[in-house]
Amino acid sequence: MIDCSASKGLRMPSSLPSNGDCQKVIFLDRDGVINQDSPEYIKSWHEFHFIFGSLDAMAALTAAGFSIIIITNQSIIGRHMGAPATLADIHTRLKQCAKNHGAVIHDIFFCPHTPEDHCACRKPNPGLILEACRIHGIDPAQSIMIGDSAKDVLCARRGGCGRAVLVQTGNGISAQKQLAAIQMQPDHVAPDLLSAAGWVMDTWTATALMHS
Ligand SMILES: [Mg+2]
C-alpha cells in the first residue's frame, strides 16, 4: 500500500466551505459519465468530449442546490502518459465550461496511481471519497455517487455513500453484468447523467435519502 498523500497535493483547489454545511453532495465519476471515455485515455483537452446532456445535468443539480464533487481515477499520471499540469488544465477548462453552462463543480479529487501501486485512493477503494468527506465535512451517508463502472458502485458502497447510481453511458452496460456477477446492485440504473440527475432530485425531494 503506497502513501496516497501525494494525490492530496494534486487535488484541485477547494471552493466549498469546510464547515459541515455541505450536505447535498453528488459525487460524480468523470470519464464515461461527464465526457466520452476512451481506451487511449483522455490526455488533453482536445480529447475531452462532453456526453450529450451532461452539462445540462450538472446545471440542473446546481440549480437544485447540490454540490458536485468529481471523484476520478487518472492513471495517466502514474503511467507517465500525461503531466499533472495537463490534467490540471483539463480540469480548469472543465470547470469553466460547466460554469458557462450554469453548473458549479465544487471540487475534483483524482487518483494518479496505477493498479499496480495498490493505493488506497484508486477506485474501487474509497480513499478519495473519504478524503472529500473529511475536507468538506460531508456525511457520506447523505451523498450520492454516480458512475459508469462497477468500480464506482463498489467505491460508493465502501465509502458509505447513501446511494449509488450507475449510468449506462461509458462502461455502464458491461458494469451491470459485472455487478450482477458479484450480486451487487446499484440503487438505480439510468441511461445517462441527465436521467440520473432527474432521479436524484426526485429521490432527495421525497426525503427518502434523509430517512432511510
Ligand atoms: Mg468512468
Confirm if 141 and 162 have CB atoms less than 8 A apart: yes
CA distance 161 to 157: 6
- Above 60 in pLDDT, residue 19? no
- Which residues sit with Cβ closer than 5 angstroms to ligand 1, an ion? 29, 31-32, 148-149
Q: Is 148 a catalytic residue?
A: no
Ligand 1 center–CA 122 separation, angstroms: 12
pLDDT at 169 over 70: yes
Q: How far is CA 65 from CA 22, 77, 81, 198, in A?
A: 10, 33, 36, 13
Determine which of 1-10, 61-70, 110-119, 167-176 has the lowest per-residue pLDDT on average. 1-10
How many angstroms is it from 172 CA to the middle of ligand 1?
A: 8
pLDDT at 105 over 60: yes
Contacts 24+ apart (CB under 8 A), 204-211: 204/24, 204/64, 204/66, 209/142, 209/144, 209/162, 209/163, 210/142
What tens digit of pLDDT does each residue of 27-75 get? Answer: 999 999 999 999 999 999 999 999 999 999 999 999 999 999 999 999 9
Is the pLDDT at 12 greater than 80? The verdict is: no
145 CA to centre of ligand 1 in angstroms: 12
What is the pLDDT at residue 204?
83
What are the residues whose beta carbons fall under 8 Å from the beta carbon of 173, sequence distance 6 or more? Answer: none
- Residue 16 CA, chain-centre distance (Å), reads 16
CA 140 to chain centre: 13
SS3 47: helix
Which candidate in 3, 21, 29, 56 is catalytic? 29
What pTM, to 2 d.p., does this model score? Answer: 0.89
Count CA atoms within 13 Å of residue 180 on its CB side: 7
Q: How far is the CA of 164 from the centre of ligand 1 (A)?
A: 14
- Domain locations in the chain as residue ranges: 23-205
- Indicate the pLDDT class of residue 101, thresholds 50, 70 and 90: very high
Q: Where are the beta strands (DSSP E) in 80-197?
A: 105-111, 143-147, 163-167, 188-190
The predicted model gives 77-94 an average pLDDT of: 95
Q: How many Å lie between the centroid of ligand 1 and the Cα of residue 191? A: 14
Domain 23-205 -> CATH class: alpha beta
